[in-house]
Amino acid sequence: MGGVLVALLAICVLTGNAVAAKTVSAVERSNAAVAAKIKELKLRSTNVLVVGQIDKRVLYAKNVEQVVPIASITKLMTALIVIENGLPLEERIVITKEDFDKVRRTPSRLAAGTSITRGDLLKLTLMASENRAAAALARAYPGGTPAFVAAMNHKALELGLSETRFVDGTGLSNENVSTARDLAWLVEAAYRQPLIREYTTYRSHTIEVNNGRKMQFANSNQMVRHPHWEIGLSKTGYLDAAGRCLVLQAKIATQPVIIVLLDSWGRLTRIGDANRIKRWIESHSSRQPAG
């Protein structure tokens, strides 16, 4: 009997070792695949995530868990709060000095006293990344800016964005932080809102202010004007601490994907990285067997 028990024990140990070896082997293969992708696709952005929107399959990942400043990518959450709370888009809001950026003194064409609808403020926030527009949206929220920021952070928790924190609605503070992984899910949530899809992909937009004067604004992402891109949502961001950032939803080789690019330092680096990703996905798609 003792010999049988010893034999059984030996079999269990061998089986366990085989399972463990198989698990380690699978992990090693996965790590090798990721390393191969990173080697094959050389990107200059520090934090990158490319994920299939339908199957949620990660196509490329680089430093996706690092918590970093996100600059004006913040404005996607600003738009979500305005839209999901059903605030009237036709209501006119007057720009005040409270909406001015007193820290970085970023310029704006919206002077104090300008009367503009909430809907146009939302368009300028998303399309042109207009900071005074975003600040006015937060200030005009029931309860003011503090209540707006609280709503932003509550929504982040609701979406499961555990590493995301907001302190303003503009993204001008370095304390607005997130990860590439969290931002992919923020893009997914924002994409479900038709107005966000529409407003972030305008090439340009003309607004009429209180005195009847017309003002035209252009999209901060030049890619929406490129015919070879099929973009469904787009948002740019920039701060010294954040580098140049870009998130977008696009259809590439018939596949809808979400791309997050953070901390790109060259002026055109984020655009270059997005184009490299596009070509990379297209080239791999062309290698897939038919049927």
80 contacts 196 by C-beta, under 8 angstroms? yes
Query: Could you confirm whether 129 is annotated as catalytic?
Result: yes
Q: Are 203 and 83 in contact (CB under 8 A)?
A: no
Query: Which is catalytic among the residues 45, 62, 123, 129?
Result: 129
Is residue 30 annotated as part of the catalytic site, yes or no?
no
Question: Amino acid identity of 84?
Answer: E
Annotation marks residue 251 as catalytic: no
| Per annotation, catalytic residue among 75, 123, 155, 278 | 75
Looking at residue 32, its pLDDT comes to: 54
Q: Which residues of the chain have pLDDT under 70?
A: 1-39, 286-291
Q: Please tell me whether residue 54 adopts helix, strand or coil conformation.
A: coil
pTM of the model: 0.85
Q: Which of 45, 62, 72, 123 is catalytic?
A: 72
Alpha helices in the chain (DSSP H): 2-40, 75-84, 118-127, 131-139, 144-158, 180-191, 194-200, 269-287
Whether 131 is in a domain gets the answer yes
CA dist., res. 131 & res. 54, Å (int)? 33
* Span 244-264, pLDDT tens digits: 999 999 999 999 999 999 999
Q: Residue 96 maps to which CATH number?
A: 3.40.710.10
What is the per-residue pLDDT for 25? 52
Are the beta carbons of 129 and 72 closer than 8 angstroms?
A: yes
Number of domains, the chain: 1
Q: Which domain holds residue 57?
A: 43-287
Tens digits of residue pLDDT in 49-77: 999 999 999 999 999 999 999 999 999 99
- Domain assignment present for residue 26? The answer is no
- Residue 27 in any domain: the answer is no
pLDDT score, position 9:
40
